[in-house]
Amino acid sequence: MEATDVTRQYLERINSRREFIRITGKWSFMAGVISLPKIFGGISLGTSSALGFSSGDGFKGGVSYFGNRDPKHVKKDMKDIVAHGCSFVVHTFSEVDYHYYTKTMKEIVNISHDLGLTVYIDPWGVGGVFGGEAFSRFVMKNPDKTQRLADGKHLPSACLNQKPFYNFMKRWVDKAAETGADVLFWDEPHFYIPRNVWRKKQGPAEWACRCDLCISLFRERFGREMPKVMDKNVIKFRDESIVAFFEGITEYGAGQKMKNALVMLPEENYLTGVSSWEKLVSLKYVDIFGTDPYWIIFRKELDSYIRDASRRVIEISKKYGKEPQMWVQAYKVPAGRESEVRRAIDVILDEGIRNIAAWSYCGGAPMNLKSDNPNLVWKILGEAFLRAQRLYG
């Protein structure tokens, strides 16, 4: 068989699977066991909620996975993920994966699908624009397409207004689609966030982007010089830049028959995202929307922080007909606080959200950001997910 035939058949198989998911997503009343047709290998996915888009009110648990590209270990871990009550997995797809691991990523996605998992794919740290502990080759290769602080300082993040970066992201979507993944997971998009923003000690010139292109686009938009101190017009300009980028890239992703999930950093804040989530959630091709109120790293009171975020996510999702999703911190959990993971899930379920994901697999074990007792965090998370499966189907 010619290689092109193999590729075509592979892509047809992916598209058939996505079409199946799209249809079952519309039939939200569907429930019970679904046996997939032969094209999917005849596997049974168990309850329809395993597909990630059906049973509108059914529970969907998910977890992010990274740090390993050896399929034989992946298989063992995916089985473990299913055994911990997950119906979807978020595979990171960094620029390193994009350049060097695309064949392996297809295998990894296949392994996940064969075990009944819906697959989200995440531009982990791509361009320095999304969340993730990964470096950007685009930034290294294109220093003239990167963001600048208001004082002109060069930053390790691509400028969202630069067409070459947008075009690169389209190629990233192409490769993400070729892996067979089901959902594009747009994680924490933002203009560069200076460290002082988190410390609430931000200087007047500590914001981006004031590159030459942004200066000229700002002048066209507002008829005046872009100021060096952030003002209302700068905030509007940044909001509009992010929204325009996602309007285009989510439509492009939908054109590749993938769903779009968007997760914003917690709190509607123009310094760390956009001033109002509604501008993004209302985009036609955003299907799933959520946020990640990680109460431990942000040093917040668990109940109120997660409850408020859940309510806002539900409010906007209902308004625009999107599926709400919430993220739970399951990394960097200090010893003695592991049961808070269960509490976080209970609060989200109590608020009525049924799509819950955790960052990350096994308490964050592969990274410096691991929990003090990663196995205990993972055990508690699994128990909470399995309980939610029993309660909500």
Contact residues toward Zn ion (CB under 5 A) are 159, 209, 211, 214
Shortest approach of Zn ion to residue 223 CB, angstroms?
19
For the bound state, the minimum distance from the C-beta of residue 190 to Zn ion, rounded and expressed in Å, comes to 13
For the bound state, the minimum distance from the C-beta of residue 234 to Zn ion, rounded and expressed in Å, comes to 12
Helix (H, G, I), strand (E, B) or coil at 308: helix
User: Cβ neighbours of residue 215 under 8 Å, at least 6 residues apart?
Assistant: 225, 226
Phi, psi of 268 (to 5 degrees): -80, 100
Q: What minimum distance in Å lies between the beta carbon of 213 and Zn ion?
A: 5
* Calpha distance 197→238 (Å, rounded): 16
Q: Cβ distance 311 to 349 under 8 Å?
A: no
CB of residue 211 to Zn ion, shortest distance in Å: 3
CB of 209 to Zn ion, least distance (A): 3
Measure the CA–CA gap between 309 and 378, rounded to whole angstroms: 23
Question: Considering beta carbons, is residue 159 or 377 the nearer one to Zn ion?
Answer: 159
For Zn ion, the closer CB: 94 or 241: 241
Which of 281, 285, 245 shows the shortest CA–CA distance to 263? 281
Q: Is residue 181 helix, strand or coil?
A: coil
Region of 353 please: left (phi>0), alpha (psi -120 to 50) or beta: beta
| Helical residues (DSSP H) of 256-323, grouped into ranges | 278-281, 302-320
Compare residues 214 and 261 and give the one whose CB is closer to Zn ion. 214
CB closer to Zn ion, 68 vs 233: 233
Instruction: Give the Cα separation of 269 and 105 in Å (integer).
Output: 34
Min separation Cβ 151 and Zn ion, Å: 14
**Closer to Zn ion at the Cβ: 152 or 255?**
152
Nearer to Zn ion, 144 or 315 (CB): 144
Q: Shortest Cβ distance from residue 141 to Zn ion (Å)?
A: 17
Q: How far is CA 331 from CA 162, 222, 316, 317, 328, in A?
A: 34, 43, 27, 27, 9
Q: Which is nearer to Zn ion, 209 or 281 (CB)?
A: 209
Residues 314, 324: contact at Cβ < 8 Å?
Answer: yes
Write the burial class of residue 57 (CB in 10 Å: 0-12 exposed, 13-18 middle, 19+ buried): exposed
Task: Name the minimum Å distance from CB 149 to Zn ion.
Answer: 11
Closer to Zn ion by Cβ: residue 146 or 355: 146
Rounded to 5°, the CA angle 379-385-389 comes to 140
Q: Are 356 and 288 in contact (CB under 8 A)?
A: no
Q: Which is nearer to Zn ion, 147 or 179 (CB)?
A: 147
Q: Which residues are registered as beta bridge partners of 64?
A: 90
Structure tokens at 19: 């079409």
Percent helix, strand, coil in the chain, to 5, is 50, 15, 35
Given a contact cutoff of 8 angstroms between Cβ atoms, the answer to whether 272 and 238 are in contact is no
**Would you say 196 or 216 has its CB closer to Zn ion?**
216
Q: What is the smallest separation between the CB atom of 212 and Zn ion, expressed in angstroms?
A: 8
